[in-house]
Amino acid sequence: MKKLYASEHRSPGGTEKTKELRAFFDSVKKIQPQVTLCPSFDPFPADERIKAIRFSALPYGGRTATVFAYLGFPDGADAANPAPGMVLVHGGGGHAYAEWVRDWVEHGFAAISFDGFSQVYTGAPHTYDAALEAWAADPEAYPPMDCFIAGDVPIERQGFTYYMADILLANSLLRSDERVNSAQIGMTGISWGGYSGSIAACYDDRFAFAAPVYGSGFQNVSQTVWGKVFRENGVADLWDAGRLLGEATMPICFFNSDRDPFFDASATTASAAAAPNGSLTLLPAFTHGQIEGSSLPEVFRFAEKQVGRGEKNIQINEICAVEGGAEIAFTLPDDVLTARVSLYYKTEDLIYEDKELREPWRCKTREAMNGRAKLAIPDEAKLFYFCVAGETRGEAVRTLHAASGVYTRAVWDAAEQ
């Protein structure tokens, strides 16, 4: 039987710098952020469940700072019936998203979406507008984040340190509210937020589970433009989850496209393989975006499974090598009756040109019955992965996916459990 998530890349473990960061973030976890309501910016006047707020952040440059956010609670959540919670970390170029909070509230979770790029809503009072024109630099927040400087710059001078601290403070904010079950708080992030959330999972073991989308660890081995950034100036030694994912013990499911232009599938596979309770879902030809990443049905189902309710995702149980190919065994949730099993393969490595794969993935698909299917692996396949897809029944039909990691030929040959 083959490992579902196997990679030649391993978590190298911490350094003196990561030990320094751990001590810093341990101190952040002890801080209880203060919350101020911002009623004129409540996003949906007819929906009392979701509020605009500010919460206190770390002092920066000799002054205090606050962070703009949206916070929501589902109907019926109280001290006697606390809801699970979600910290929502937006992508690069984004902002706090009220509709994202509303989606999770409607799934029965308390949720917070904060602005990670020192912005505040400047649209009309008592309205909500997701357009970037409705957001501007926030004078009460940190200065605009400088992303990464270099691995050897003191951590208190790196803007990303404070951005990461906001993720931990958002967790603390939810945990302090009696309407939230502090043992059932998860995190999901989109793109940059998925990358950052992967790091947060390594430093904040209070999270019960994590679901990073697009972004992951091991960006130093990625073949996209991001990989080049992380291979410069020692950034990966300090700001890459791949170094520490071996110590992150909560369930972590990484979600990504098989051809994402910013975060490649090999890094996602390495992350799932490194985390003790890691898994992944690769989605063929999935588009990169805040809306697309935040609305994945598999993410909601993963979270609901972690808190003991809702329908499960498709589950690949095992992959066995057979002559000339593989046999895949899987389990479907109750609301999915039939499935297709596909082999996606390439005859070259993940090589990107202008944010596009030089060689597209090729595909072989067959219908599968009784939870098993066999697929031949072409001799010319250098990289490949297996995907099971099926449609839900009911009024809102959704396609669900489950996938193995991406195998190289060498990893496939060595990946016996």
pLDDT digits (tens, 9 = 90+) for 50-105: 999 999 999 887 888 999 999 999 999 999 999 999 999 999 889 999 999 999 99
> Quick one: 306 and 321 in the same domain?
no
Closest residue by Cα to residue 196 from 295, 116, 284:
116
Which tops the pLDDT comparison, 144 or 123? 123
Query: Cβ–Cβ contacts within 10 Å for residue 76, how many?
Result: 10
Q: Is residue 117 part of a domain?
A: yes
Boundary residue ending a domain (271, 295, 310): 310
Q: According to the model, what pLDDT value does residue 230 have?
A: 81
Q: Are residue 283 and residue 321 in the same domain, yes or no?
A: no
Tally the domains of the chain. 2
400: CATH: 2.60.40
Where in the sequence is the domain holding 333, given as residue range(s)? 316-414
3-state secondary structure of 135: strand
Fill in the amino acid letter for 200: A
Whether 1 is covered by a domain: the verdict is no
Could you tell me if 77 and 200 lie in one domain?
Answer: yes
Position 405 pLDDT exceeds 70: yes
Number of helices and strands (H, E) in the chain? 10, 21
Is the residue at 349 inside a domain? yes
Looking at 310, 345, 371, the residue that finishes a domain is 310
| Confidence class for position 306, pLDDT limits 50, 70, 90 | very high
Which positions ≥6 away from 413 have C-beta within 8 Å?
Answer: none
Amino acid at 380: E
Q: What is the mean pLDDT of residues 252-259?
A: 98
Please provide the average confidence, as pLDDT, over all residues in the chain.
93
Helix (H, G, I), strand (E, B) or coil at 336: strand
Percent of the chain with pLDDT over 70: 98
- Determine which helix (DSSP H) or strand (DSSP E) holds 120, and give its type and residue range: strand 119-121
Note whether 217 and 321 are same-domain residues.
no
Task: Output the pLDDT for position 74.
Answer: 98
Parallel, antiparallel, or unpaired: how do β-strands 362-368 and 372-376 relate? unpaired
Q: What spatial distance separates the first Cα and last Cα of the chain, rounded to whole Å?
A: 6
Give pLDDT, residue 304: 98
For the entire predicted model, the pTM comes to 0.96
Q: pLDDT digits over 341-371, tens only?
A: 999 999 999 999 988 999 999 999 998 878 9
Is residue 10 in a domain? Answer: no
Using CA atoms, how far apart are residues 100 and 89, in angstroms rounded to an integer?
Answer: 10
Say yes or no to pLDDT of 121 above 90: yes
Distance, in Å, from the CA atom of 332 to the CA atom of 310, rounded to the nearest integer, reads 14
Model confidence at 149, in pLDDT bands (50, 70, 90)? low
